[in-house]
Amino acid sequence: MELKNYKLTIEYDGTNLHGWQVQPNGRTVQGDIESAFTEFSPEQKIVLIGSGRTDSGVHARGQIANIKLATKMLPDEIRKALNSKLENDIWISDCQIVDDDFHARFSAKEREYSYHITTQFSPITQRYEWWVKKDMDTDKLYKCAKIVIGDHDFTSFCKANAEVKHKRCIVFISEWEITKTGFIYHIKANRFLQHMVRFLVGTMVEVARGRMTIEDFEQFIHGLHSTLSVFRSPANGLFLERIIY
């Protein structure tokens, strides 16, 4: 049978998952989907390539992955077969055949994330929002968000041992939306570093709560701050929304 390249669109609730990448202990998105593939295609080597890693507790509405497979099954039959094997916190929403040179990670041009904050605690939404108890200065949030836009070295806003060649990212959209119960931060960039959105959001909130200044935030963006540290927001408010090719 001919080897074909399949593109998967994946949704998941990251609450009980140890992130995207396969781990020796604990469930992961990649691990669960690869195991599901193995059940109905045991004779093939299963290698699922994701558009990028998400951390433990982070959710996704539009994660993308690709896999090369030789099968007589139609794409929608693959989707249904996978969903029948997966637990209910992971869902394959689409499966389609793509060109052989399509690569979920390297073919991606832009990525979109959202981060959800609530100022009103709810046991129903606590898995999907960061509850910020103190008042925030909305104007400061807006000003910080504008500073993020552009081509910057985000060394200050990523995990110290991030395994990447460089830490420059081009941010196209960075804006806050006010909701009935809090705020949503929207960001689109060509690439993201590990923990980058969580560090940006956490530090912007520190500015909005008066614990840092806008000047402090701007110095972080330019890698000039030597006395303060950025603040990382919790994983539960972060959603990978969309990958653009």
Q: What is the dihedral of CA 194, 196, 199, 201, to 10 degrees?
A: -140
Annotate 31-57 with DSSP letters as a single string. HHHHHHHHHH-TTS----EESS---TT
Residue with tokens 């989907």: 33
Q: Report strand pairing: 150-153 vs 130-131.
A: unpaired
Catalytic residue among 55, 100, 101, 137: 55
8 Å CB contact between 230 and 203: yes
Residue with tokens 């290698």: 47
3-state secondary structure of 16: helix
8 Å CB contact between 199 and 216: no
139 is catalytic: no
Helical ranges in the chain per DSSP H: 29-40, 75-85, 138-148, 196-208, 214-221
Quote the radius of gyration of the chain (alpha carbons, Å).
Answer: 19
Residues serving a catalytic function are 55
